[in-house]
C-alpha cells in the first residue's frame, strides 16, 4: 500500500500507522464492549439493573491514558512537520506557478517546463505562486502539500531517491477543471537528469547552470 | 394506559388540535402559530424537505463518481451539486436539526415551562430559516446557475466565479440570523423559565447541551454573517478585502470563516451528545455515568472549541508557532469527547438494556462518532495532516462526525420522540431493519473514502485517476444501500405517525418531564405544575442493590 517515494513518506506513514493502530485497538474495544453489554445485560437476561457508583479511579485513568497517548501523537506529528520545514540550503530552487488549470515550473537558469524533472537524491525546494485563485500543490506519493496563493509565496521541499514518475495534483478547489489539474514529477538517474537538463536548456538557448552532482 | 394521560387526569385536546390564533384549522393555524411545539413540527417538515433535496444531490454526486470522466453530469453541474449539497446539509439540516426541531419542541417541557420565553421571535426564526433555505435552492433556477464555490465560499474564487454566489451568501446570512435568534431564545428560556424546583443540576443533559450550543450560536454566528457580507460587498462593489487582485488577503478570509465554522462543528455535535446522554439511561435503566462531567464538558467544549479553528489551515503556510499551538490545543480538546464515549459505554454496564430503534441508532452514533474522532486525531497530527488535507479522507472524516454522528443522532431523536410528538407508534420491526440497512450502507459509502484519501484522491474532484475507481464503485454502491434504508426508515416513520397504533404516554420508560405529560402534549404542556423533586435520571425504582466497581 505504501510506496516509500520521498524522504517524508516513511515518517508520515509511521505516524499514521501509529495513530491508526491505537485507534483500532480502542475502537474494537469499545465496540466489543457495547455489543457484549447489549447482549449480556439485555432486559430479557437482566431485568433488574444494578446501580454502579461513579468510580474516581476509573475516571482519572481514562482521562490520563488518552492524554498521554494524544500528546505522543501530537509530538510525533510535530517532529515530522519540523523536518518538512527544515529546508536544506543546497536545495534546487524551482519556481512553481499555478493558474487555472495548469502548473508550470521554472529552473534557476530560466528554463520553463510543464512537467517537473529532478535527479534522484537531489533536495528540491519549490516556491509556490498562483496567478489567479488559490490552488494547492500536492504530491501524494511524497506526502507533501502546500496551498498556493496569488498574494504570497509558499514553499515546500522534498528529496526522492527512487527513480520514477509521481503525480502532482491540485488539492484546493479552483473551479471547473480542478480535477484535471494534474502534472507529474519525474525522478531521474543523475546522469539522465544531466543529459536531459543540458539538452533542454540548450534547445531553449539557456545556460545549464547546475548538474545533479552539485547537490 | 393507551390514552396518553395520567390515570387521574382527563384527556384534553392536544396541541395538534388546539390553535393559538384565530385560524382554527389548516395551514394558517400552523404557520402563524407561536406554540413552541407547532414551531418544532414546522421545523421538522421544512428540514426534512431540504434534507431530501440534499440527499438526492449527494446521491447524484456519488453516481457521477462511479466511473472516471463524465458519467451523468458536466463538471460545472457537479461543482454546483456538491456546493448546494454542502450548504443545505450544513445550514439547513445538521445545524438546526436537533436544536430547532427537537429543542423547540422539548426544551420547554423538559424544564417544566409552558413555552420558550419569546414565542414570536421563535416563529420569526422559522420564517428566516425557510426564506434562507429557499434563497439557496431557488438560485439553481436563475440564469448562471447556483454557486459553484463549495460551501466554504473560499475567496478569491468566490469573488470571481460568474455563478450566482450572491443568493447563496444571502441564504447563509439569513440562516445565520435564524440560528442566532434561536440560540438567544434558548439561553434566556433556560435562565428565566425553569420550573422553580428545576435547579441547574436537575436539568436533563440534552438541555445542558442545548445551552452550551446556544452560546456558540450567539457568539460565533455573527462572525460568519459579517464575513459573508464582506464577500458580498467585495463581489458587488469591488472593495478589496479578501481578493488579492483588489488588495485583499485570502488567508484572512479563511481565518474568519473557520473562527465561525469550527465552533459550528460543536453547534452540530453537542446537541447530539446531549441526546445520546438522554437516550442511553432510558434504554439501560441506569443513571448516566458522570452527569456533572458531561454537563460541564459541554460548556468546556463550547469554550475551548473556539480556540482551534486554524487546524483547518495547516497547509496554508502559517508560522511554526501557530502550527504548534493549534495542533496542541486540538489534541487536548479531544479529551472531553473521548471521556464522554467512555461514560456512555460505562452506563450500559450492568444495565437492563432494551435495544429499541432509538437505542440502536445511538449505538451506531457511538461507533461512527468514535471513528470520526479517531480520524480527527490523524488529521490533528501535523505531518499527517499535510498529506491528508483536502483529500477524500477529510470528506469521510467529517461525514463520520456530522452524518454518522449528528445525522444518526437526529434519526435516533426521531424514533425516540416522534411517538410523543404525534401520539402514534411506528412499526418497531421495520424500524430495526431500516436501522441495519442504513448503518451498513452508510459505512460502505464512507469507509472507502478513507483509504482513497490516504492514497492521494483529492476532494471536490469531478474526474479522477483510474486507480481509484474500485473504491469509488464500492462507495457508490454503498450510497444505493443507504438510500434504500433511508426510504424505509422515513416511510415507516411517516406511515406510523399517520396511521400507526396510539402511542402510550411513556413508551420507553423515560424519567424526564416530557414523558410525564399527555401524549401528544397539550397547549402549554402541563395540566398541573409538574413535580421535579427527583433528578432527571432516577432509576432507583428499577435498581436492585447498590454496588461499586471497586
Ligand atoms: C445520502 C447521503 C450523502 C451522500 C451520498 C453524500 C455524499 C457526498 C459527496 C460525494 C461529497 C463530495 C465530496 C467532494 O467532492 O469534495 C459530499 C460533500 C459534502 N457532504 Fe455529503 N453526502 C451525504 C450526506 C451528507 C450529510 C447528512 C451531510 C451533513 C452533515 C453531508 C455534508 C456534506 C458536506 C458539508 C460536503 C462538502 C461540500 C463541499 O465540499 O463544499 N453529506 N457529500
Ligand atoms: Cu484546484
Ligand atoms: Cu474544525
Provide the shortest C-alpha distance from residue A200 to chain B (in Å).
29
What is the reported pLDDT for B64?
97
Instruction: Kindly list the residues from chain B whose CB atom is less than 8 angstroms away from the CB atom of residue A176.
Output: 75-76, 79, 148
Q: Is the Cβ of A100 closer than 8 Å to some Cβ of chain B?
A: no
Instruction: Give the pLDDT confidence score for residue B6 in this predicted structure.
Output: 54
Q: What pLDDT does B137 receive?
A: 87
Contact state of B290 with A73 under an 8 Å Cβ cutoff: no
Q: Which of B11, B49, B13, B15 is nearest to B29 (CA)?
A: B15
3-state SS class at B373: helix
Q: Domains in chain B, start-ordered, CATH in brackets?
A: 27-531 (1.20.210.10)
Residue A99 clears pLDDT 60, i.e. is over it: yes
Residue among A46, A49, A58 minimizing CB distance to B549: A58
In this complex, the residue of A12, A52, A83 whose CB is nearest that of residue B350 is A52
What distance lies between CA B313 and its chain's CA centroid? 24
Confidence at residue B10, expressed as pLDDT on a 0 to 100 scale:
64
Per-residue pLDDT of chain B (550 residues; tens, 9 = 90+): 344 455 555 678 999 998 888 888 889 999 999 999 999 999 999 999 999 999 999 999 999 999 999 999 999 999 999 999 999 999 999 999 999 999 999 999 999 999 999 999 999 999 999 999 998 888 888 888 899 999 999 989 998 898 999 999 999 999 999 999 999 999 999 999 999 889 999 999 999 999 999 999 999 999 999 999 999 999 999 898 999 988 899 999 999 999 999 999 999 999 999 999 999 999 999 988 888 888 888 888 888 888 999 999 999 999 999 999 999 999 999 999 999 999 999 999 999 999 999 999 999 999 999 999 999 999 999 999 999 999 999 999 999 999 999 999 999 999 999 999 999 999 999 999 999 999 999 999 999 999 999 999 999 999 999 999 999 999 999 999 999 999 999 999 999 999 999 999 999 999 899 999 999 999 989 888 777 777 788 777 777 655 444 3
Predicted pLDDT at B537: 81
What is the Å distance from ligand 1's center to B58 Cα? 6
Q: Do B381 and A174 touch (CB under 8 A)?
A: no
- Atom 39, ligand 1: which residue's CA is nearest? B150
Ion ligand 2, residue ranges at CB < 5 A: A 135, 170, 174, 178, 181
Could you give phi then psi for residue B414, rounded to 5 degrees?
-60, -45
The count of CB pairs under 8 A between chains A and B is 275
Using CA positions, which residue lies closest to atom 1 of ligand 1?
B55
Task: Match 426510504 to its residue by C-alpha cell.
Answer: B487
Domains and their CATH numbers in chain A: 9-85 (1.10.287.90), 92-203 (2.60.40.420)
> Is B544 at the interface with chain A, CB within 8 A?
yes
Residue B44 touches chain A, beta carbons under 8 Å: no
Measured in Å, residue B325 CA sits from the centre of ligand 1 at 30
What is the atom index within ligand 1 of the atom nearest the CA of B152? Answer: 41
Residue A119 three-state SS: strand
Query: Is B334 in contact with B373 (CB distance < 8 Å)?
Result: yes
From A29's Cα to the closest Cα of chain B, the distance in A is: 11
Name the one residue in this structure whose C-alpha cell is 434558548. Answer: B186
pLDDT of residue B300: 87
Q: Quick one: CA torsion of B493, B523, B47, B99, rounded to 10 degrees?
A: -110
Per-residue model confidence (pLDDT) at position B302? 87
Task: Give the residue among B377, B496, B380 at the shortest CA–CA distance from B428.
Answer: B496
Interchain CB contact of A131 with B (< 8 Å): no
Q: Would you call the peptide bond into B9 cis, given omega within 30 degrees of 0 as the criterion?
A: no
Determine the Cα–Cα distance for residues B376 and B389; give it in Å rounded to an integer.
Answer: 11
One-letter-per-residue 3-state SS of B152-200: CCCCCHHHHCCCEHHHHHHHHHHHHHHHHHHHHHHHHHHHHCCCCCCCH
- Residue B86 has, within 13 A of its CA and on its CB side, a CA count of 20
Q: Is the CB of B458 under 6 A from ligand 1?
A: no
Confidence at residue B532, expressed as pLDDT on a 0 to 100 scale: 78
- pLDDT digits 0-9 by tens, A145-168: 999 999 999 999 999 999 999 999
pLDDT at A213: 57
| A54 SS3 class | coil
Q: Which of A23, A51, A176 is nearest to B350 (CA)?
A: A51
CB of B59 closer than 6 angstroms to any ligand 1 atom: yes
Ligand 1, from B51, B86, B165, B269: best to mutate by most atoms within 8 Å of Cβ? B86
Cβ partners under 8 Å of residue B274, min gap 6: B98, B204, B205, B206, B207, B208, B209, B210, B298
Q: Does B148 touch chain A (CB under 8 A)?
A: yes
| Residue B3 to residue B9: CA distance in whole angstroms | 10
Phi-psi category of residue B68: left, alpha or beta, with phi > 0 → left and psi -120 to 50 → alpha: beta
Q: What pLDDT is attached to residue B145?
A: 87
C-alpha cell at B222: 455573527
Residue A42 burial by Cβ neighbours in a 10 Å radius (0-12, 13-18, 19+):
middle
Determine which helix (DSSP H) or strand (DSSP E) holds B322, and give its type and residue range: helix B320-348
CB atoms within 10 A of CB B119: 18
Chain B residues 436-455 with a CB less than 8 Å from chain A: 454-455
Angle between helices B357-380 and B250-284 (to 10 degrees): 140
SS3 for B1? coil
Separation of first and last alpha carbons in chain A:
31
Q: Interface pTM (ipTM) of the complex?
A: 0.95
Instruction: Using the predicted structure, report yes or no on whether residue A2 has a pLDDT greater than 50.
Output: no
**Distance separating alpha carbons of residues A5 and B453, to the nearest angstrom:** 17
Band of residue A51 on the pLDDT scale cut at 50, 70, 90: confident
- Contact between B160 and A133 using a beta-carbon 8 Å cutoff: yes
* Residue A212: per-residue pLDDT: 67
**Is residue B85 in contact with ligand 1, taking CB distance under 6 Å?**
yes
Does residue B285 belong to the interface with chain A, where contact is any CB pair within 8 Å? yes
DSSP state of B391: B
B70 touches chain A (CB under 8 A): no
Closest alpha carbon within chain A to B244: A151
On the question of a cis peptide bond just before residue B520, with omega within 30 degrees of 0, the verdict is yes
Distance CA A34, CA A38 (A): 6
The DSSP output letter for A67 is H
Amino acid at each position: 500500500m505504501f510506496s516509500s517515494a520521498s524522504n517524508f513518506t516513511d515518517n508520515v506513514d509511521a505516524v499514521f500507522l501509529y495513530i491508526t493502530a491505537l485507534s483500532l485497538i480502542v475502537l474494537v474495544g469499545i465496540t466489543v464492549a457495547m455489543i457484549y453489554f447489549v447482549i449480556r445485560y439485555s432486559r430479557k437476561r437482566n431485568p433488574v439493573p444494578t446501580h454502579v457508583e461513579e468510580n474516581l479511579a476509573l475516571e482519572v485513568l481514562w482521562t490520563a491514558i488518552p492524554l498521554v497517548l494524544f500528546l505522543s501523537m501530537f509530538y510525533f506529528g510535530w517532529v515530522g512537520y519540523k523536518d518538512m520545514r527544515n529546508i536544506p540550503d543546497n536545495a534546487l530552487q524551482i519556481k512553481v506557478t499555478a493558474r487555472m488549470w495548469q502548473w508550470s515550473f521554472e529552473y534557476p537558469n530560466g528554463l520553463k517546463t510543464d512537467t517537473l524533472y529532478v535527479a534522484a537524491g537531489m533536495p528540491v525546494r519549490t516556491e509556490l505562486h498562483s496567478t489567479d485563485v488559490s490552488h494547492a500543490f500536492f504530491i501524494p506519493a511524497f506526502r507533501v502539500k502546500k496551498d498556493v496563493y496569488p498574494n504570497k509565496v509558499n514553499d515546500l521541499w522534498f528529496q526522492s531517491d527512487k527513480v520514477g514518475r509521481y503525480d502532482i495534483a491540485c488539492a484546493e478547489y479552483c473551479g471547473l477543471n480542478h480535477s484535471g489539474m494534474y502534472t507529474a514529477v519525474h525522478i531521474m538517474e543523475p546522469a539522465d537528469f544531466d543529459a536531459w537538463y543540458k539538452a533542454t536548456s540548450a534547445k531553449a538557448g539557456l545556460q545549464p547552470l547546475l548538474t545533479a552532482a552539485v547537490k | 394506559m393507551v390514552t396518553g394521560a395520567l390515570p387521574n387526569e382527563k384527556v384534553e385536546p392536544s396541541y395538534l388540535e388546539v390553535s393559538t390564533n384565530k385560524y382554527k384549522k389548516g395551514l394558517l393555524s400552523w404557520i402563524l402559530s407561536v406554540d413552541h411545539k407547532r414551531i418544532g413540527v414546522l421545523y421538522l417538515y421544512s428540514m426534512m424537505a431540504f434534507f431530501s433535496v440534499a440527499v438526492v444531490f449527494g446521491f447524484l454526486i456519488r453516481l457521477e463518481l462511479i466511473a472516471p470522466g463524465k458519467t451523468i453530469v458536466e463538471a460545472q453541474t457537479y461543482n454546483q451539486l456538491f456546493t448546494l449539497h454542502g450548504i443545505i446539509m450544513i445550514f439547513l439540516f445538521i445545524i438546526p436539526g436537533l436544536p430547532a426541531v427537537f429543542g423547540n419542541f422539548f426544551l420547554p417541557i423538559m424544564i417544566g415551562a409552558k413555552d420558550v420565553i419569546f414565542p414570536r421571535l421563535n416563529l420569526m426564526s422559522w420564517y428566516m430559516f425557510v426564506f434562507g433555505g429557499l434563497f439557496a435552492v431557488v438560485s439553481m433556477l436563475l440564469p448562471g446557475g447556483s454557486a459553484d464555490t463549495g460551501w466554504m465560499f473560499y475567496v478569491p474564487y468566490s469573488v470571481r466565479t460568474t455563478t450566482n454566489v450572491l443568493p447563496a451568501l444571502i441564504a447563509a446570512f439569513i440562516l445565520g440570523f435564524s440560528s442566532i435568534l434561536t440560540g438567544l431564545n434558548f439561553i434566556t428560556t433556560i435562565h428565566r423559565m425553569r420550573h422553580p424546583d428545576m435547579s441547574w443540576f436537575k436539568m436533563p443533559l440534552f438541555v445542558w447541551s442545548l445551552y452550551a450550543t446556544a452560546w456558540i450560536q450567539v457568539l460565533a454566528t455573527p462572525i460568519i454573517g459579517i464575513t459573508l457580507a464582506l464577500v458580498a460587498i467585495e463581489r458587488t462593489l469591488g472593495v478589496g478585502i479578501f481578493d488579492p487582485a483588489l488588495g485583499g488577503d485570502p488567508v484572512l478570509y479563511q481565518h474568519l470563516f473557520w473562527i465561525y465554522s469550527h465552533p459550528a462543528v460543536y453547534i452540530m455535535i453537542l446537541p447530539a451528545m446531549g441526546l445520546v446522554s438522554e437516550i442511553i439511561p432510558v434504554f439501560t435503566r441506569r443513571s448516566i455515568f458522570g452527569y456533572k462531567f458531561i454537563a460541564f464538558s459541554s460548556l468546556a467544549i463550547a469554550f475551548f472549541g473556539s480556540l482551534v479553528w486554524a487546524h483547518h489551515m495547516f497547509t496554508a503556510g502559517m508560522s511554526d508557532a501557530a502550527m504548534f499551538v493549534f495542533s496542541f490545543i486540538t489534541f487536548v480538546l479531544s479529551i472531553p469527547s473521548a471521556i464522554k464515549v467512555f461514560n456512555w459505554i460505562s452506563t450500559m454496564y450492568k444495565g437492563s438494556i432494551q435495544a429499541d430503534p432509538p437505542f440502536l441508532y445511538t449505538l451506531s452514533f457511538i461507533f461512527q462518532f468514535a471513528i470520526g474522532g479517531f480520524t480527527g486525531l490523524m488529521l490533528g497530527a501535523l505531518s499527517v495532516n499535510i498529506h491528508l488535507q483536502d483529500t477524500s479522507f477529510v470528506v469521510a472524516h467529517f461525514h463520520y462526525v456530522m452524518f454518522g454522528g449528528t445525522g444518526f443522532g437526529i434519526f435516533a431523536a426521531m424514533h425516540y420522540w416522534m411517538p410523543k410528538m404525534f401520539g402514534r407508534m411506528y412499526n418497531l420491526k421495520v424500524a430495526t431493519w431500516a436501522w441495519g440497512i442504513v448503518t451498513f450502507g452508510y459505512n460502505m459509502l464512507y469507509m472507502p473514502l478513507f483509504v482513497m484519501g490516504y492514497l492521494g484522491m483529492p476532494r471536490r474532484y469531478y474526474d479522477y485517476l483510474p486507480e481509484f475507481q474500485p473504491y469509488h464503485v464500492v462507495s457508490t454502491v454503498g450510497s444505493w444501500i443507504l438510500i434504500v434504508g433511508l426510504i424505509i426508515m422515513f416511510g415507516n416513520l411517516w406511515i406510523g405517525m399517520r396511521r400507526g397504533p396510539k402511542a402510550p404516554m411513556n413508551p420507553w420508560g423515560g424519567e424526564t418531564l416530557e414523558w410525564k405529560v399527555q401524549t401528544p402534549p397539550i397547549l402549554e404542556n402541563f395540566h398541573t405544575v409538574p413535580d421535579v423533586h427527583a433528578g432527571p435520571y432516577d432509576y432507583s425504582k428499577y435498581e436492585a442493590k447498590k454496588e461499586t466497581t471497586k
